[in-house]
Chains A and B, each alone.
Chain A
Amino acid sequence: MSLLDVRDVTIRFGGVTALADVSFSVEPGEIFAIVGPNGAGKSTLFNLISRFCEPESGDVRLDGASLLDLAPADMAPLGVARTFQNIDLFETSTVLDNLLIGRHTRRQSSFVAQAVFSPAVRRQEIAHREAVERIIDFLDLHAYREQRIAGLPYGTRKVVEVGRALAMEPRIVLLDEPASGLSPEESRDMRFWISDIRAELGVTVLMVEHDMGLVSAVSDRVLVLAEGRGIALGTPADVQSHPEVVQAFLGVEPEPTA
């Protein structure tokens, strides 16, 4: 059974149709990319899956169970983590505290226990730090562990946000443009990390990305959106030669081959 199943989803904002009958499914252990020109509805799709917006019709299922009745905060316990296109970290906290928030749904202590900082709370805090330390190792964030987000460079923040999503130990992580605004070197690092997220952590990846180099290097399947419609779905190579895709990206008819 598919891990995540999006069926015939339509979303309208006033007169604008952001998504029209979009369907796709993500298999467990897959790296699935969504590409498309600006305004194609990619971020709306992410907001729909993480429950920040409601569809007009259609359904989103995780393991066959519909997500539409759930609130955004219910997604983390189900193992759905996400990052944001414009980086939405907790600016005044340290990198460590940001990653620890990823463990929020795994806390098991009452307010009173926390106020007296009981031995159980202490044990849990240490266990969470061990788990977070693995992510810090994985993403090579040691140098920034104690630093506040507000003082970090853009590229590092991008990595921290991926780390925060991974600290949740999710089943599927939604990465919203993980490589946007990164330097070529940082972008190359991100490419390795995305394949490692699956290979080492066993997490399914669903990502929106503009960098076709990155997409074709790491993803198993690609969905191309244009003006809210899914116009092609397949392997990166298949999709790139698809005539409608070329038209959507370049705006010209492909030259007829002789």
Chain B
Amino acid sequence: MRVPFKTSYLHDIRLFADGYRAAQYAVLVALAVLLPFVLDDFLIGEVTGVLIWAIAGMGLMLLTGHAGQVSIGHAAFLAVGCYANVILMDRFGLPFVTSFLLAGIVTGIAGVLIAIPVFRLHGIYLAIATLALSMLVEDIIVLAEPWTGGVVGLTAPSVTIAGMDMDRFSAPNRFYWLCLAIALLVTLGYRNILRAPLGRALLAIRDSEVSAQAMGVQLARTKAAAFGLSCLVTGWAGALLGHFFYTFNHEVFTVVVSIQLLLMIVIGGIGSIHGAFYGAIVVGIIPQAINIGRDWVTDILGTGGVAIPGLETGIFGLILVLFILFEPLGVHGRLTKWKIYFELFPFYRRDLFRRQRSYLKTERLR
């Protein structure tokens, strides 16, 4: 096990524990940048989707994983970001860079406005309030037809940055790099927040509101900041999602998407940035795996196509139940344990993580 020997306070606040870790992440980023030279357009599209969901996952992770405020309404903020971006481009003729940034800010402000009335709600009550929000926004999209196109929806204009075509269809590789760059910047900002006073305040209100207040953490302000930043990032994910889907309407942002986002971060590993990425990968892989499995079953049976309605949702639910029962810390927690097992080999004890706790305190019906 690598234990860095700290000789200055800078060691505490560096992004990477040591050069070895930094090198690992550098290699990972390099591989991600080179990916379009290996994969075909279809697969790059899939990976782009995973990246966008990872950005949305980071948005929700900040709020639910780190600040402890459960939201089953984040599809609503995805929708706000998505529509705001396209409306700003179409109606106001803004270039993508400006409209993208503004879409995030608009969504962030929406998040702060939502935080004000719901800040006294905890656990399951907050979950219900945000669930209602998700349903409400779906209806509002349909009703606000002059702006949102109602049930017909909108079509995203193509993305151009400094004269360079970044469209999802005509230049899938560049769109992938754009999403990758945004995902990396969001990750960096997220890491920075976590090592700064605000990050500690978020963990404080998650773990004990009473104690946090006694230490001078202003509850309302900190929760509003958590909602604002979370929705800012979710709004950006929504804006990218609009370009990714090309055409979209209210059905893209249903409550199911909200729940899927929450499942994503729980499966990935709640309370860690890694978790958002792992969750997005799992969510991205499952539908493909089901398709492949379905083809395989069809081949064996020699019949026509087998269609089982609700199979995807069912498998998703099953995976979630298994994770909550056997690995509350998700994929990230499991991988960390394996890593520690090999680092400590042969001294790993079965009870090493006996004291692990689930971060999601919805059972506290306060």
Contacts and interface: CB of A to CB of B under 8 A. Distances in A.
Interface of A: 50, 52, 71-77, 81-82, 84, 88-93, 96-97, 100-105, 107, 109, 111, 114-117, 121-122, 125-126, 129-130, 133, 150-151, 164, 168
Interface of B: 9-10, 12-13, 189, 192-193, 195-201, 203-204, 206-208, 210-219, 225, 229, 271, 355-357, 359
Contacts of A101: 200-201, 204, 212, 215, 217
Given A88-B211, A104-B200, A168 B192 contact: no
A91 B357 contact: yes
A69 B365 CA distance: 29
Nearest to A100: B200
A44 to B, nearest CB: 15
Contact of A109 (B13, B197, B212, B213): B197
Contacts of A92: 203, 206-207, 271, 357, 359
A105 B222 CA distance: 12
Given A104-B216, A125-B13, A109 B208 contact: no
Contact of B192 (A73, A90, A116): A116
The CB with the most chain A CB atoms within 10 A, among B12, B195, B212, is that of: B12
Contacts of B216: 73-77, 104-105, 168
Given A111-B225, A115-B189, A122-B13, A93 B214 contact: no
Contacts of A81: 214
Contacts of A102: 215
Nearest to B211: A88
A90 B213 contact: no
A73 B197 contact: no
A76 B193 contact: no
A111 B271 contact: no
Contacts of B206: 92
A154 B268 CA distance: 32
A90 B201 CA distance: 10
Contact of B213 (A72, A89, A111, A150): A72
Contacts of B229: 111
17 contacts: A76-B214, A82-B214, A84-B211, A88-B208, A88-B210, A89-B207, A89-B211, A91-B357, A101-B204, A103-B197, A109-B197, A111-B198, A111-B225, A122-B10, A125-B9, A126-B9, A130-B9
B219 A73 contact: yes
B217 to A, nearest CB: 6
A107 B197 contact: yes
B207 A93 contact: yes
A125 B196 contact: yes
A133 to B, nearest CB: 8
Nearest to A130: B9
A184 to B, nearest CB: 26
A114 B203 contact: no
Given A101-B204, A122-B13, A126-B13, A114 B197 contact: yes
A114 B207 contact: no
Query: Which 10 pairs between the two chains have the least Cβ-Cβ distance?
Result: A76-B216, A114-B196, A105-B216, A107-B197, A72-B213, A90-B207, A88-B211, A117-B192, A129-B9, A115-B189
Contacts of A117: 192, 195-196
A73 B218 contact: yes
Contacts of A76: 214-216
Contact of A75 (B192, B203, B214, B357): B214
The CB with the most chain B CB atoms within 10 A, among A71, A92, A93, A114, is that of: A114
B79 to A, nearest CB: 24
Contact of A168 (B196, B208, B215, B356): B215
Nearest to B356: A150
Given A91-B207, A92-B271, A125 B195 contact: yes
Contacts of A73: 213, 216-219
B351 to A, nearest CB: 11
A27 to B, nearest CB: 23
A101 B215 CA distance: 7
A115 B192 contact: yes
B357 A150 contact: yes
